Structure 1
Amino acid sequence: MPSARFTLLTASLVCALIILDTNIVAVSLPSIARDLSGSFADIEWVVSAYLLAFAACLLPAGSLADRFGRRRMLLLGLVLFGLASLACGAAPSLVFLDLARAAKGVGAALLLTSALAVIGNRFHQPQERMRAWAFWGACMGATITSAPLLGGVIASTLGWRWIFYINLPLVALLAIMVMRSVEASRDSAAARLDPWGSLTFAGSLGYLIWAMIDANQVGWGSAQTLGRLVISALLFGLFVMVERSQERPMIDLQLMRSGRFVGALLGMFAYAACAQVMMTLLPLYLQNGLQLSAQAAGAGMLPFAMTMLLTPRVGMRLATRLSPAQVFALGLVLVGAGNLLCAWATRHGGYGAFALASLVLGAGAGLLNGDTQKNIMACVPRERTGMASGLSTTTRFGAIVLAIGVLGGVLATRTEQLLYEAMAAAAPGELGQIGAMATRVAAGDLASALALVDPSLRDGLAPLARQAFVGGFETVLYSAGVAALVFAVLVGVLLSRPPVVLRGAEYAPGEAG
Structure 2
Amino acid sequence: MSISSQSNHPEHLAHLARPRRPGTEAPGRGTKNFILATASATCSLIVLDTNVVAVSLPAIARTLQASFSDVEWVVSAYMVAFASCLLPAGGLADRFGRKRMMLLGLGVFILASVGCGLAPTASFLNIARAIKGVGAAILLTAALAIIANTFHEGAERTRAWAIWGTCMGITTTIAPLVGGVITQWAGWRWIFLINVPICLILVTCARYAVTESRNPSNSRIDVIGSTLFGVALMLAMWTLIDIPTHGWDSLATWSRCFGAALLSALFVLHERATKHAMIDLALFRQPRFVGAVLGMFGYAACAQVMMTFLPLYLQNAFGMSAVKAGVSMLPFALAMIVGPYIGARLSARFHGSSSVLVAGLLLIGTGNLMVAAVTSFASYGLVAVGITVTGLGAGVMNGDTQKAIMACVPVHRTGMASGISTTTRFSAIVTAVGVLGAVLAYHTQSAFEAALPGGYAWRETLGRDFLTRLLAGDIAQALSHLDTAARTTMTALASQAFAAGFSAALTVAGTVALVVGATVWSLYRWQTKIERA
Q: State the TM-score, normalizing by the size of structure 2.
A: 0.91
Superposed displacement of residue 434, structure 1: 7.6
Give the aligned length.
501
Match of 2:399 in 1: 370
Match of 1:270 in 2: 298
Q: Is contact 1:257–1:500 with CA below 8 Å preserved after alignment?
A: no
Say whether residues 1:204 and 2:232 are aligned partners: yes
Q: Is contact 2:82–2:134 with CA below 8 Å preserved after alignment?
A: yes
Say whether residues 1:404 and 2:439 are aligned partners: no
What SS class does the counterpart of residue 320 from structure 1 fall into? helix
- The match for 2:500 among 471, 488, 510 is 471
Q: Is contact 1:152–1:298 with CA below 8 Å preserved after alignment?
A: yes
Say whether residues 1:332 and 2:361 are aligned partners: yes
Superposed displacement of residue 349, structure 1: 1.5
Which amino acid in the other structure matches residue 194 of structure 1? D
Cα offsets for 1:164-217 (capped at 9, x unmatched)? 011111101111221223211112221102211111101100000000011111
Superposed displacement of residue 456, structure 1: 6.9
Q: Is contact 1:154–1:163 with CA below 8 Å preserved after alignment?
A: yes
Match of 2:313 in 1: 285
Match of 1:109 in 2: 137
Which amino acid in the other structure matches residue 304 of structure 2? Q
With 440-449 and 329-338 compared, the bigger mean Cα shift is at: 440-449
Structure 1: unaligned runs, 5 residues or longer: 507-513
Say whether residues 1:358 and 2:387 are aligned partners: yes
Match of 1:250 in 2: 278
Which amino acid in the other structure matches residue 366 of structure 2? A
Superposed displacement of residue 346, structure 1: 1.3
Match of 2:6 in 1: none
Q: Is contact 1:268–1:373 with CA below 8 Å preserved after alignment?
A: yes
Q: Is contact 1:420–1:431 with CA below 8 Å preserved after alignment?
A: no
Which amino acid in the other structure matches residue 184 of structure 1? E
d(CA) in 2 for partners of 1:167, 1:430: 42
Match of 1:31 in 2: 59
Superposed displacement of residue 500, structure 1: 11
Which amino acid in the other structure matches residue 328 of structure 1? L
Superposed displacement of residue 350, structure 1: 1.7
Distance 1:434 1:417, change over 3 A: farther
What SS class does the counterpart of residue 143 from structure 2 fall into? helix
Q: Is contact 2:287–2:523 with CA below 8 Å preserved after alignment?
A: yes
Superposed displacement of residue 455, structure 1: 8.0
Match of 1:71 in 2: 99
With 19-28 and 169-178 compared, the bigger mean Cα shift is at: 169-178
Match of 1:296 in 2: 324
Superposed displacement of residue 156, structure 1: 0.6
Which amino acid in the other structure matches residue 384 of structure 2? A
Superposed displacement of residue 345, structure 1: 2.6
Match of 1:438 in 2: 467
Q: Is contact 1:420–1:434 with CA below 8 Å preserved after alignment?
A: no
Q: State the TM-score, normalizing by the size of structure 1.
A: 0.94
The CA RMSD measured in Å over matched residues stands at: 1.8
d(CA) in 2 for partners of 1:345, 1:145: 24
Cα offsets for 1:305-362 (capped at 9, x unmatched)? 0110122122222211122111100000000111111112312222111112211111
Superposed displacement of residue 241, structure 1: 1.7
Q: Is contact 1:307–1:362 with CA below 8 Å preserved after alignment?
A: yes
With 19-28 and 440-449 compared, the bigger mean Cα shift is at: 440-449
Cα offsets for 1:439-478 (capped at 9, x unmatched)? 1111111134325778874332221111111111111111
Cα offsets for 1:65-98 (capped at 9, x unmatched)? 1111111100000000011001100001111101
Distance 1:499 1:75, change over 3 A: farther
d(CA) in 2 for partners of 1:281, 1:496: 34
1:95-494 to 2 correspondences below 5 Å: 95-322=123-350, 323-425=352-454, 428-430=456-458, 436-450=465-479, 457-494=486-523
Q: Is contact 1:74–1:114 with CA below 8 Å preserved after alignment?
A: yes
d(CA) in 2 for partners of 1:460, 1:375: 51
d(CA) in 1 for partners of 2:463, 2:403: 47
Superposed displacement of residue 412, structure 1: 0.6
d(CA) in 2 for partners of 1:210, 1:50: 13
Distance 1:424 1:223, change over 3 A: farther
Which amino acid in the other structure matches residue 29 of structure 1? L
Q: Is contact 1:55–1:397 with CA below 8 Å preserved after alignment?
A: yes
Superposed displacement of residue 261, structure 1: 1.0
d(CA) in 1 for partners of 2:209, 2:294: 37
Which amino acid in the other structure matches residue 354 of structure 1? V
Cα offsets for 1:206-251 (capped at 9, x unmatched)? 0000000111111111111011010001111111122112213111
Superposed displacement of residue 499, structure 1: 7.2
Structure 2: unaligned runs, 5 residues or longer: 1-27
Superposed displacement of residue 379, structure 1: 1.3
Paired-residue identity, %: 53
Superposed displacement of residue 435, structure 1: 5.5
Q: Is contact 1:416–1:434 with CA below 8 Å preserved after alignment?
A: no
Cα offsets for 1:255-299 (capped at 9, x unmatched)? 111111111111111111000111111111111111110000001
Distance 1:143 1:423, change over 3 A: same
d(CA) in 2 for partners of 1:55, 1:9: 25
Which amino acid in the other structure matches residue 132 of structure 2? K
d(CA) in 2 for partners of 1:354, 1:460: 24
Which amino acid in the other structure matches residue 525 of structure 2? S
d(CA) in 2 for partners of 1:114, 1:231: 32
Superposed displacement of residue 424, structure 1: 3.8
What SS class does the counterpart of residue 41 from structure 2 fall into? helix
Q: Is contact 1:16–1:143 with CA below 8 Å preserved after alignment?
A: yes
What SS class does the counterpart of residue 128 from structure 2 fall into? helix
d(CA) in 2 for partners of 1:404, 1:33: 17
Superposed displacement of residue 159, structure 1: 0.3
With 291-300 and 4-13 compared, the bigger mean Cα shift is at: 4-13
d(CA) in 2 for partners of 1:430, 1:451: 15
d(CA) in 2 for partners of 1:277, 1:199: 25
Cα offsets for 1:46-76 (capped at 9, x unmatched)? 1111111111111111111111111110000
Superposed displacement of residue 162, structure 1: 0.4
Match of 1:17 in 2: 45
Match of 1:41 in 2: 69
With 206-215 and 127-136 compared, the bigger mean Cα shift is at: 127-136
Q: Is contact 1:218–1:224 with CA below 8 Å preserved after alignment?
A: yes
Q: Is contact 1:276–1:400 with CA below 8 Å preserved after alignment?
A: yes
Match of 2:117 in 1: 89
Q: Is contact 2:346–2:355 with CA below 8 Å preserved after alignment?
A: no
Distance 1:45 1:500, change over 3 A: farther
Superposed displacement of residue 130, structure 1: 2.4
d(CA) in 1 for partners of 2:477, 2:450: 20
Superposed displacement of residue 419, structure 1: 1.0
